[in-house]
Amino acid sequence: MIKLSDSLLKFHSILVRKFTGSKQMKNSDTYTIGLRLVLLWASAAVGIVGLLFGFDLIGEALESLLTVLFEYAQESLETFYRKTIKLDLYQAQMATAYTGFLVFLGLVILLFRKFSVVYKDCQEIGIREREKLMELWFKHWGNIKVWWNGLDQFNKFFATIAIMVLAIPMVSIICFALGKVVAELV
């Protein structure tokens, strides 16, 4: 365990020395913009690769990466407790577990607060958009009724077919996309 931590720390220090710039460069706006562009393009690349492979490859890679990161954090925290507070192995493991539990509770509370605000905002936006849609519907309902009543039976039949030809593929695409999302979540 200790050999793994030492090698990871050496690897981390090598990465930090090779891939970080000077302090003057880090404080510049071009560095920040460049970093944001790199993150944007990296996210786009992950999304494209995910779409190509159906998120199977990306999901497994992200799961492995997160597992390694959590294990590394757990090992580092356990080493910290053993060296600084002088706990034995069992006590350090228990302290690490309780610390992880408290961090998890804190993240849950933070996410709940953030998403409750987002949920309320989405509800307000939905209400406003529904009101706009209803206003447009009532505004144009008379025109639609006049147009529909002006058609003879032959044109009504083909207008209905045209609406179905447009509506069925759109509904199918939406259902397929939602089904794919639900399948990936489950």
Q: How far is CA 161 from CA 24, 123, 125, 151, 158, in A?
A: 67, 35, 34, 14, 5
Q: Is residue 186 part of a domain?
A: yes
142, 168: one domain? no
Name the residue with higher pLDDT: 25 or 167: 167
Q: Identify the domain containing residue 181 by its residue range.
A: 152-186
Angle, helices 2-19 vs 56-84, to 10°: value is 110
For residues 160, 165, 169, 171, the Cα torsion angle rounded to the nearest 10 degrees is: 0
Q: Is residue 37 part of a domain?
A: no
Angle, helices 56-84 vs 29-53, to 10°: value is 130
Under the banding of pLDDT at 50, 70 and 90, the label for residue 76 is very high
Residue 21 backbone class (left: φ over 0; alpha: ψ -120 to 50; beta: rest): beta
Q: Say how many C-beta atoms besides its own lie within 10 A of residue 90's C-beta.
A: 8
108, 142: one domain? yes
Q: Is residue 77 part of a domain?
A: no
Tally of structural domains, the chain? 2
Q: Is residue 112 part of a domain?
A: yes
Q: What is the pLDDT of residues 108-136, one digit of tens each?
A: 998 888 888 888 888 898 899 999 989 98
Under the banding of pLDDT at 50, 70 and 90, the label for residue 27 is low
The pTM of the full predicted model, rounded to 2 decimals, is: 0.42
161, 183: one domain? yes
Q: Is residue 134 part of a domain?
A: yes
